[in-house]
Amino acid sequence: MTYPRVSLYAMMLASAGIPLYIHLPQFAAVELGIGLGTVGAILLAIRLVDLVQDPAIGWLVDRWPSAQLPFAMLAAGGLAFGFPLLFSLTAGPGVIVKLIAILIGLFTAYSLGMILLYGRSATLARTREPGELLTLAAFREGGMLAGVIFAAIAPAALAGLGTSGNAYPAFGLALGGFALLTALLTRPIWSRPVLAGRPLSLPSLADAGALRLLALAVLNSLPVALTSTLFLFFVEDRLQLAGYAGGLLVLFFLFAGLSVPFWTRLSQRVGPRRTLLIAMPLAIASFAGAAFLGPGDLLAFVLICAISGATLGADMVLLPAMFSIALTRAGLNASTAFGIWSFAGKLALALAAFLALPLLEQQGFQPGADNDPRALGALTLTYAIFPCVLKSAAFAFALTLPQERLVR
């Protein structure tokens, strides 16, 4: 039952991460009356906290390996407490200060859970063989995608059940309750004996090939970060398909989840690097296709969601597994390394929000308003063109990865 419990804990974390990156900008702008530029600045400021915090959390997890159960419960408890507070906020004096304080607590709990889950790959896997680490990654990322789907459909489902006003307060309570239930059901996996490694250093990371993978992960995260941050705006304001936004988001992550077994089997046959090089051009094509869409192009965007979702499944499985394999082969402490990995991924998301949201605001874009062609053009540029360029750069970088890092 270890792998299903890993999936459940991953599902909890993903159901927490999606609201922070997809629902938060719209919630803050529409429900709290905070400008998009301010929202982007807040997210970037919190990333500055993570600059110190995430590597420190990784060091703490490695420093006290016997405390992995308290760490896991603390992460779940922070999410259970923070989300009801976040989505019960209302517009008024001091709302920005309250929002920042709650977000710091939520991101800290989220970071702790993510670093623990990824840093303990060698401990949670049945063996330390690369193939088994890829299998663990498939269960973990499958759980992540299930959590994403849950978080994507929950607000609309709660609204359909007749929640008064907006569905966000009930959404916060649902997320909090799920975190508590997960903490209870996943306790056994955190009592497994920890497989400790050697202390981490920059030379040891470089020798293991992990620094190159870390750089690729940051570059590869940027296009996904842009499209995730702007997805609801693009669907509702550019395509004018507001009634389909929830379903399209679910479709995107559903195809990501369905693709996980395929990418896992392919990577075990031809290696994760070659598999990644197959998936990335498909993502580039999907980003490019989105640039040509206009109001009402539902069927074309469904196809784009399916393709881009499937390629996201490859990113989620392959890159963390490749990083974990590199660390395990070198016998390095993984939690500190995944602390750096966690910060790098969240930095990409924050940079996307910091760069895209003020640009849209400067061009006159307003969510839910009657935007002019200039504003909608800026939205298309940031949602489709920029990610296409960034993904192409990531593909070029992936071509430079050495062949000998493949799983045999």
CATH number of the domain at 231, please: 1.20.1250.20
- Reported as a single tens digit per residue, the pLDDT across 307-334 is 999 998 898 888 888 887 888 777 776 6
Number of domains in the chain: 1
Neighbours of 400 (CB within 10 A): 8
pLDDT band at 159 (very low <50, low <70, confident <90, very high): low
For the chain, percent of residues with pLDDT exceeding 70: 93
Measured distance CA(2)–CA(264) in Å, rounded: 19
Query: Which range, of 139-153, 186-200, 285-299, averages the lowest pLDDT?
Result: 186-200
Mean pLDDT of 193-205: 69
Measured distance CA(186)–CA(73) in Å, rounded: 9
CB half-sphere exposure, 11, CA atoms < 13 A: 22
What would the two tokens of residue 17 be? 């991460």
- Torsion (CA) 173, 176, 180, 181 in degrees, nearest 10: 60
- Reported as a single tens digit per residue, the pLDDT across 41-59 is 887 788 778 777 888 888 8
Mean pLDDT of 5-21: 86
Measured distance CA(44)–CA(268) in Å, rounded: 37
Q: Are 333 and 62 in contact (CB under 8 A)?
A: yes
- Provide the pLDDT for residue 199: 66
**Contact residues for 113 (Cβ-Cβ < 8 A; gap 6+):** 9, 12, 13, 16, 72, 75, 76, 79
Mean pLDDT of 125-136: 78
User: Cα dist. 134→124, 148, 157 in Å?
Assistant: 12, 21, 34
Report phi then psi at 239, rounded to 5: -85, -15
Domain containing 304 equals 2-405
- Provide the pLDDT for residue 344: 74
Please spell the DSSP secondary structure of 147-183, one letter per residue: HHHHHHHHHHHHHHTT-SS-SHHHHHHHHHHHHHHHH
- Reported as a single tens digit per residue, the pLDDT across 108-129 is 999 899 888 888 877 787 777 7
Residue type, 369: A
What would the two tokens of residue 360 be? 């849209």
**Contact residues for 340 (Cβ-Cβ < 8 A; gap 6+):** 54, 55, 58, 214
What would the two tokens of residue 166 be? 């907006």
- Provide the pLDDT for residue 404: 46
**Contact residues for 245 (Cβ-Cβ < 8 A; gap 6+):** 231, 232, 235, 236
pLDDT band at 408 (very low <50, low <70, confident <90, very high): very low
Euclidean distance between the first and the last CA atom of the chain, given in angstroms as a whole number: 27
Residue type, 49: V
